[in-house]
Chains A and B, each alone.
Chain A
Amino acid sequence: MNEIPYLSLILFVPLLAAIIIALLPSENKQTVRWVAFIASLIPLALTVWVWLNFDAAVPKDGFKFVEQATWYEAINSTYHLGIDGLSLTMVLLTTLLTPVAILASFSVEKNVNAYMALFLMLETGMLGVFLSLDLMLFFVFWEIGLVPMYFLINRWGSEKGERELWGGIKVKARAYASFKFMIYTMAGSLGLLLAIQLIGVAAGTYDLPRLFEIWPTLTEFTNINTTVAVSTWKTVAFWAFAIAFAIKVPVWPFHTWLPDAHTEAPTAGSMILAGVLLKLGGYGFLRLVLPLYPEQANAAAGVLVFLAVAAIIFGAFAAYGQRDFKRLVAYSSVNHMGFVMLGIAAAARAIGTESATIALNGAVLQMFNHGITAAAMFFLVGVIYERTHTRNLDEMGGLFPLIPVYGGILIFTSMASLGLPGLNGFVSEFLVVRGAWDIFTSATIWSMLGLLFTGAYILKGIAKTLHGPLNKNWVGHLTEINARELAVITPLMVLMLWLGLWPGWLLNVINNAMVALFG
């Protein structure tokens, strides 16, 4: 169809750049940084081009910019890429946040080549998940994304801190966090892989557009000799999918890897973790779980909504209970991603209704919005940490006069995170609440408790850093945000405001996709 394989270019330019960077001489760090940064702009430019040439208005014919090639013939798995409004939104988020995060990493001094190469590799992994239209391919990229992040946390994570296990055994906090992240996700992947194999064997294909047609209505496994009912298999496979993605989102109670990983990761690592990696989970639910298992999802919606609300409430409480600024922001992700799950759960229960479509719009928009704001929040925490070398809120206080510009930016970003109307978070939260209201009324009411405490932890963060009497220790040490850091945060702030005032440009693409997929 297309002469130029845009999607493949978007997907593999970062990997190519990673290889080049790995081969570059490591003496000149600045060159390495700039090469990485510029390389990461290429996928962004390509994505913008695709976005502008993407006709959102054509529904029902599925995926655009499709590419298909032979890959793994023996099991009928092909290299199949394509996008619709859902994946395009996520691809845009990824290609947008990666250069921003790389620019934020210019202060990394240790082993810059490896760091940048891993970062770009990570981008390929994430993009692959969003672009794949083949289950096997999806899984391969799903796993690829893990490895660079593991090393980023383990090697470049925060130097300080220990975590006690049992019997007095202590490990380095970043080692603990990186293992926990890796193993937890792997634990989920295991079930996912088995379930994917089940589907592949039973349906005879891994091709997603075909599976969307075959799998939900499949009542008999002709290829598998089994006495177990098909519906049972499907339920098992559903839960394998759901748990794998729930760990990634993360849904309560699978969330405890997140505060550890986010807190210990380097600043840019946290930005990408919160900004994109968590969305892989939400994307998994929307791309695979709801279309492949509508019946099972419907049956399990009650469980999902309970967990979503638990994430919203306990995420907010835990965030409010933190003294570590970064951990506070980390827990805020649990709280915010809970709204994504609330939207998904509501849609699972009442798919096809007006409310469900609104809830799905809200969930996807919330993923994008949270990607922007959470990345910005982690970056701002990083800015202050690089200067003070502490994340302890009790050691800050009254910093506003020292860093007025930073202070203004922190308040702005915090308000976006809080869901202040006029900024991006509000639109998506409102849509989720509106969509979930008549489907899960009491759950929606309970979620308001979380929304209330969102305010509490955000204000706690501001009050403990900026407000109150000045902590004299930092006079002369704490410098104002610099030009590079402003270049990182400005595009994110522009998006927060733009999406708050005029979300139509993005929501139009999302809405068309949701109507086409689930309408």
Chain B
Amino acid sequence: MNPELLIWLIPLPPLLAFGVITLFTNRSNAASSWVGVGSAFISWVLGLLVFIQAIGIDHFGEHPFGSSVEWLPLGSGAFSIGVLVDPLTAVMLFFVTTTVLMIFIYSVGYHNYGQPKGDHDQKGLPPHGATVEHGDHSHTVPSVEPMYARFFAFIGLFAFGMFTLVVSDNLLTLFVGWEIMGLCSYLLIGFWYAKPSARDAAKKAFMTTRVGDVFMLLGIAYLYTETGTLNFRNILYNQEVLDTLAANPAIGGFWGLSAAGLIGLLLFIGTVGKSAQFPLHVWLPDAMEGPTPVSAMIHAATMVSAGVYMVVRMFPILALDEKTLGTMAVIGAFTALMAATIAVAQNDVKRVLAYSTISQLGFMVAALGIGAYIAAAFHLVTHAFFKALLFLGSGSVIHGMEHGVLHTGNHKVDPQDMFNMGGLRKKMPITFWTFLIGGFALSGFPLVTAGFWSKDEILADAWGHHHYVVFWVLAIAALLTAFYTGRQLMLTFGGEARTEEAKHAHESVPSMTWPLMILSFFAITAGWVGIPEKIPVIGGLLPNWFHDFVGGTLLKHPEALSSFDPIPLITSVIVALGGLSLGWLVYRNIKAGDEDPLKKPLGEIYGYIQNKWYWDEIYNGIFVHLANLLSEPFTYRFLDRTVIDGSLHWIAQRAFGLGGWFRDKIDGPIVNGFGDFVGSFTNRFGHVMRYVQTGRVQQYMIWAALVAFGGLFYFLAFVSTP
């Protein structure tokens, strides 16, 4: 089939699913699951078909798939929108459609499809369990999500946004998909909207990313102004346009940047918001308030990846200015390290992963900042697989723990706190093994896992291009990554159960475990397509397909490192194995009631990192406070009510006084003395005045207007004559 047509069709099934579920099947859980999962499946098939066709074409980057239509008539021309699949998009399509499908399937089990309705479940709150009678005794089982259908509608819309973003051939429709995802993220983080924490987290996520979005919008407007188009191929695959962008100075001469530099910087701020980079990272950990499939989808596989995807896509522009790249390298590396330190001291199983995501995205941003285009794209792909796996695994763990909680009936036990877990490897073997694979991939366990190859490539590029500071910062971050992953694995699955609830946890349903197994396959193999040819022994056994294929996206095919240097490779191996072993050593034998063993040796630092460097407190103290102060007290009460309305009232009051004076001094004694005709006139006038007085306001308003305009006219016409 014609690939162009297929591409147009990819985003549509989930959009239709959203419409169908919202309008028709919202009362039927079964129908909604089928519609939802079915739509994701169709998109997956379409995506796969396009992907297969794309990889079969030589030099695909030179003649990609694409088509467009005119959308906005503007001035003498028109703004066109369309679809494009080039090598980068093809790879994105593959992993996005796959992870999305897995997450859809997983959601069926996660929301307790087929379970009875809860005893006291309310819309807007997570399900609390249902009592089931079994002859003479009863027990509590998980209950189905009360807003089950709504969930599938929302994730359908979300998938539509992501697919739209991926297949767009221009920055504007990319932004459309970007923002639709932002909306869905808001709706899904606040899915259990009756919980104040979820409501606030949703607002925070939307507002924080919006800070980035408004800058991105400026970047888009700027790029459009400079080039007259937003089409990727016309800008990024066109040396002439790129040269002009590099040669022109930025508007207002900002920071000595070129136009390309400022455009790139503005767009990058969008990524800082969307991909939760410092200083806009604060929303992502709170976003864990949403259901776990949402965390997996939004905060691992798709939405946060979209931020990095956008800068990867715009790399040819970003690369035109050293300062822009440098900024990205600094922000990315700092974020990678900072988030990794915070992750070390988190006890919530999902929050560890949230900070780990921030950190890993920092790796990608830093990689782009040092010009490692391929490495960034590669890590984007492998991370999506293993992080989706980890999030879904953590959801499975939480589900298992909730089983235990329902069994004991002790709702005070937090099923997400890793210190309440322990020994789950025996209770939940599939979850354990898949989580182990995901964790090893995240740590960069040498040779077998995907994470190793992509992370190693970033480090190798940093070393090879002499960015030693970035290299060492990322190496330390990687060490911490392996350490907190070891900690998480040991606290969750290792040792013995620390609570009664953990003892009664049990394995999740197949609709949850199957996606885990499939994703763990990719968490290993996705790395094998990008093994550098210069690596000793195994290099060259498999072709470095990823580099060749994705490199074709750029006008100038990026060069692979010319020589092999053992230092980054050895560093990768040491930090991965060292970190994991350290985690294992420290956390292998935690007993119930034990403190975190790090607490004592780290002292005050522990509190500092556990409280996330106090960013939330700082932001609340400054920005939230300032916004509240500026809005009601300043703008509304002071500016509008006191100054502006006050001036109007002041004028009105003077006019009122003047009116009264006319009535008493002129109207009364003088005009009234003028005889019958005038008398009757005055009578009428007085009548009007009496009427006017009941309302009072209009009178002084009329006078105010007369006086003001008379004055203005007099001034403009006679005083200010040139």
Contact = CB atoms under 8 A, between A and B. Distances in A.
B207 A400 contact: no
Interface stretch (B110-118, B217-225, B610-618): B217-225
Interface stretch (B276-284, B326-334, B540-548, B696-704): B696-704
Nearest to B172: A430
Contact of A191 (B176, B193, B713): B713
A452 B623 CA distance: 13
A62 interface: no
A496 B4 CA distance: 28
A237 B202 CA distance: 51
Interface string B611-650: 0000000000000000100111111110110001100110
A467 B195 CA distance: 8
A176 to B, nearest CB: 6
B716 interface: yes
Interface stretch (A111-119, A269-277, A350-358): A350-358
A48 to B, nearest CB: 21
Contacts of A184: 701, 705
Interface stretch (B68-76, B517-525, B681-689): B68-76
B709 interface: yes
A467 B633 CA distance: 25
Contacts of A456: 207, 627
Contacts of B672: none
Contacts of A398: 124, 193-194
A228 B636 contact: no
A459 B206 contact: yes
Interface in B201-225: 202-203, 206-207, 210-211, 214-215, 217-218, 220-222, 224-225
A393 interface: no
B518 to A, nearest CB: 32
Contacts of A433: 217-218, 221
Contact of B645 (A191, A256, A355): A256
A420 B635 CA distance: 25
A409 to B, nearest CB: 11
A236 B697 contact: no
Nearest to A186: B705
B193 A190 contact: no
B180 A420 contact: yes
Interface in A428-469: 430-431, 433-434, 437-438, 441-442, 444-445, 448, 451-453, 455-456, 459, 463, 466-469
Interface string A151-185: 00000000000000110010100011001101110
A453 B582 CA distance: 46
B706 interface: yes
B635 A190 contact: no
A318 B214 contact: no
Nearest to B648: A256
A468 B194 contact: yes
A453 B627 contact: yes
A448 B124 contact: no
A379 interface: no
A504 B72 contact: yes
A400 B705 contact: no
A175 B695 contact: yes
Contacts of B630: 317
Contact of A321 (B215, B632, B706): B632
Nearest to B179: A421
A47 interface: no
Interface residues of B, number: 78
B718 interface: yes
Interface string A392-434: 0000001011001000100100010000111000110011011
Contact of B697 (A171, A354, A459): A171
A499 B273 CA distance: 28
A226 to B, nearest CB: 9
A508 B180 contact: no
B252 interface: yes
Nearest to B634: A317
B562 interface: no
B720 A191 contact: no
A139 to B, nearest CB: 15
A422 B702 contact: no
B465 interface: no
A452 B273 CA distance: 13
Given A256-B644, A452-B211, A236 B713 contact: yes
A415 B639 CA distance: 28
Q: Which of B71, B214, B221, B720 neighbours the largest number of chain A CB atoms within 10 Å of its CB?
A: B221
B175 A169 contact: no
B122 interface: yes
A452 B633 CA distance: 19
Contact of B225 (A183, A430, A438): A438
B59 interface: no
Given A317-B630, A415-B183, A507-B73, A452 B697 contact: no
A285 interface: no
Contact of A470 (B183, B194, B635, B652): B194
Interface string A235-275: 11001100000000000010010010000000000000000
Nearest to A226: B717
Interface string B165-180: 0000000100110111
B75 A357 contact: yes
B251 A314 contact: no
Given A187-B701, A190-B709, A468 B196 contact: yes
A187 to B, nearest CB: 3
A165 B649 contact: yes
A354 B226 CA distance: 12
Nearest to A239: B716
Contact of A401 (B124, B207, B210, B627): B124
A179 B636 contact: no
B491 to A, nearest CB: 33
B632 A408 contact: no
A179 B701 contact: yes
Nearest to B703: A183
B221 A175 contact: no
Given A190-B706, A253-B644, A421-B175, A401 B196 contact: no
Interface in B305-339: none
B190 interface: yes
A430 B217 contact: yes
B123 interface: yes
Given A236-B716, A468-B196, A444 B221 contact: yes
A322 B168 CA distance: 39
A231 B717 CA distance: 10
B695 A318 contact: no
Interface in B241-269: 251-252
Nearest to A183: B701
Contacts of B252: 441-442
Contacts of A358: 74-75
A445 B262 CA distance: 13
Interface string B102-146: 000000000000000000001110000000000000000000000
B52 interface: no
Contact of A438 (B172, B251, B644, B720): B251
A317 B225 contact: no
B249 to A, nearest CB: 13
B673 interface: no
B234 interface: no
Contact of A171 (B206, B631, B648, B695): B695
B55 interface: no
Given A171-B695, A437-B222, A469 B627 contact: no
A351 to B, nearest CB: 13
Contacts of B695: 171, 175, 179
A232 B716 CA distance: 8
Nearest to B177: A421
12 contacts: A183-B704, A187-B704, A228-B721, A317-B631, A317-B634, A318-B635, A321-B633, A321-B635, A398-B193, A448-B215, A459-B207, A467-B190
Shortest beta-carbon contacts, A-B, top 4: A187-B705, A321-B632, A183-B701, A321-B631
